[in-house]
Amino acid sequence: MKIDKITGEQILLGSSLYGAGGGGLVRFGRQFMNEALAFKSEIPVKSFGEMDDDDIIISAATVGAPSNFDVYVNPDQWKVALVLMEETFGGKIAGLCNNEMGGMAACNCWTLAAMAGIPLVDCACTSRAVPYSPMACMTLGQREGFLSTMTVCGGKGDTYIKMSVQGKVYYVTKVIRQASANINGSVLAVLRNPMPVSYMKENAAVGALTLSLKAGEVLQRYDGKPKEMVKAIEKEFNFEYICEGAVENYKIMIEGGLDVGSFFLKQGKNSYEMRYWNEYMTFENNGERLGTFPDAIITLDAATGLPFGSAELSEGQKVIIGKIHRKYLLQSPGLYVKDYLEEVERAVDRKIVEYIL
């Protein structure tokens, strides 16, 4: 596989389906894609079958609040993060992958791959977008004695920051999240955790780019035809239609460097509530739980049928809501760690663990 203008656009669209409310905005993903393809018109993608088990892969992430449109990362910041990683890690990097799925997250590492000549790898650290960074570190946070290595660059002017951090996954990700929060959720470029292919095979979402490409082809085919779109993604990706209507009481704020909020949707006697922490975490009808993270709860534009995120919503906007049950997602053991799910509970003030574990 190679990333070019055509396949890149399809991957961004397809991955936005699995962003499940987060994972960055597609329009910023296009900006990243165009930056990357300006350096190299085609970016190669390797499968695990083309790599040795001891080859090292690092993941790329953007950390911050999607609703903060003012400050996004640029190529120079990715380059600084890579230099810091090479200095801190000291070994050869054989491949790059994105940390999660999403309209922007899918291409987190494309610019860096194009600039540095490091191949992309057909995987992601998790099968959907996540709000809590340790989830996208697979289960490295549970490995006894594991020393996490992450490098960071972002901000601009007085808020510019760069750093290398090593320690337990929990503390390292907390330091980086706080760095973003200190500059109002500005998005930071982050490189994470050099790991061998042998570990990634067992713990990463293998084939994430291939799946996104397939989903993107379907989304392009039915763009502007919402009814046909719903039928197609039901058939191809196990999407489950739930309801549709106009967004009411839309609330969003930045807390701890992340978007937190909720909205309601009324349909006859049904009163639906969505709660999100960047991504959609819970969806209920009159108190009955219909979707619970890590289910991929999805909003589609009722006019086009295309997915969009929590930061793009507006009062009165007409949406279609459904989900892809977690059992249909690619493997992602980091999504099912009890401590991580309890963080979601605290963020959205809803029970999660009892529905999942």
**For the domain that residue 143 is a member of, what is the CATH number?**
3.40.1610.10
- Single residue among 180, 208, 236 that ends a domain in this structure: 208
Q: Indicate whether 118 and 81 sit together in one domain.
A: yes
Q: Show which of 208, 240, 265 is a domain's final residue.
A: 208
Residue 61 lies in a domain: yes
Specify if 245 maps to a domain. yes
Residues 293 and 203 in one domain: no
Give the dihedral of Cα atoms 34, 35, 36, 42; nearest 10 deg.
40
Is the distance from CB of 22 to CB of 310 less than 8 angstroms? yes
The sign of the dihedral angle between the CA atoms of 118, 120, 121, 126 is positive
Q: What global pTM score does this model have?
A: 0.93
Beta-ladder partners of 255 = 258
- Do the domain assignments include residue 277? yes
Task: Assess whether 260 and 341 both reside in one domain.
Answer: yes
**239 and 284 in one domain?**
yes
Kindly state whether residues 309 and 166 are assigned to the same domain: no
Query: For 231-245, what is each residue's pLDDT tens digit?
Result: 999 999 999 999 999
Q: Please give the tally of structural domains in the chain.
A: 2
CATH of the domain at 319: 2.40.390.10
Decide if pLDDT at 250 tops 70.
Answer: yes
Structural domain of 334: 224-356
356 backbone dihedrals φ, ψ, rounded to 5°: -115, -45
Q: How many beta carbons lie within 10 A of that of residue 134, not counting itself?
A: 23
Q: Does the residue 351 lie in any domain? A: yes
Q: HSE of 15 in the Cβ direction (CA atoms, 13 Å)?
A: 38
Write down the pLDDT at residue 142: 94
Residue 109 within a domain: yes
Residue 259 clears pLDDT 90, i.e. is over it = no
Q: What is the mean pLDDT of residues 109-118?
A: 95
> In this structure, are 68 and 104 located in the same domain?
yes
Distance CA 30, CA 61 (A): 16
- The confidence band for 219, taking pLDDT boundaries of 50, 70 and 90, is very high
- Tell whether the model's pLDDT for residue 118 goes beyond 60: yes
Q: At which of 181, 208, 235 does a domain end?
A: 208
pLDDT > 80? residue 42: yes
131 and 240 assigned to the same domain: no
